[in-house]
Structure 1
Amino acid sequence: MNIFSNNINLLQRALDVSSLRQKVLSNNISNVDTPGYKTLDVSFEDILKNEQEKSIKIPRFKGYRTDPRHIAIGSQMNDLFQPKIVVQNQTSIFNHENNVDIESEMTKLAENNLWYNTLTQVTNKEFGMLRYVITEGRR
């Protein structure tokens, strides 16, 4: 029996991706003056949107295992959402073929920080509800 909802699994993946994006954006900022360096970014939102659209269009059913030796129905969250690091090759801002725009990267970094903080707050709320059910639900 899994006591964690899909929300918690999805939040975990989103936090992992946000952490990865923070590393990638920090790497971009640290290479702002490196000749030939191309901006990297993490593509996750597009994958998530596609999966959400698929889940809306396809009717889902819940399967139950009556024996632990049976094969589990459905796929794991970790199999569905794999972030991809994408190289931005379109432009070169400076003569030394570097396309890192420091203002853009700092904006993305701030957005990612807000996103991460929001995800942690939502995760805390999910665990708070779970804690409430465990401690107060028995009354």
Structure 2
Amino acid sequence: MGLLNSVSFQRLQGGIDAAYKRQNVLANNVANEDTPNFKRSDVSFESFLQQQESGIKPTLNAKVTDSRHFHFGTNRIVPAAVVSTDETTSMNNNDNNVDVEREMALSAENQLRYSSYVEQINSQISMMRAVIQGG
């Protein structure tokens, strides 16, 4: 097994990918602030990861491509980020539901989340480097 193939690295990579996708979705929401009938989108990742870790809702299953494969649990699978659109709300007279202040706050939160994921990856790589170099 490679050093960077551990479950923790895969989850951090999934978090970075989700943060990247979320930033693009939030930017698209802001760009369409005045577009009639536009409905904002959001990205779900962390909630899926929490459900997976707590065992509340094991909705993620391993892909089995052959009947001879072992069936195993979801503890090693990293969920993918899912983009969802909020079709139920409307904030403006033109049926648009984008609140720019909320989108900017979510963007700032996403930037902090992204930075923490990168910091955790850097920390793990530094620890591995110290072990490999013997110091």
Q: Same fold (TM over 0.5)?
A: yes
Partner in structure 2 of residue 65 of structure 1: none
- Aligned 8 A contact 1:10 1:77 in 2: no
Query: Residues 49-128 of structure 1 correspond to what in structure 2 (within 5 A)?
Result: 49-54=50-55, 79-128=77-126
Whichever residue aligns with residue 3 of structure 1, its letter is: L
Question: Partners of 1:42 and 1:90 in 2: how far apart?
Answer: 16
Question: Partners of 1:77 and 1:100 in 2: how far apart?
Answer: 36
**Residue 48, structure 1, aligned to residue 46, structure 2:** no
Give the 3 Å change call, closer, same or farther, for CA 129–73 of structure 1 in structure 2.
farther
**Residue 16, structure 1, aligned to residue 14, structure 2:** no
Taking only aligned residues, the RMSD between alpha carbons, in angstroms, comes to: 2.5
Which segments of 5 or more consecutive residues in structure 2 lack a partner in the other structure? 57-68
Which segments of 5 or more consecutive residues in structure 1 lack a partner in the other structure? 56-70
Question: Partners of 2:132 and 2:71 in 1: how far apart?
Answer: 27
Q: Match of 1:109, SS?
A: helix
Q: Match of 1:99, SS?
A: coil
Partner in structure 2 of residue 3 of structure 1: 3
Q: Match of 2:3, SS?
A: coil
TM-score, length of structure 1 as denominator length: 0.79
Larger Rg belongs to: 1
Pairs aligned (count): 123
- Aligned 8 A contact 2:45 2:81 in 1: yes
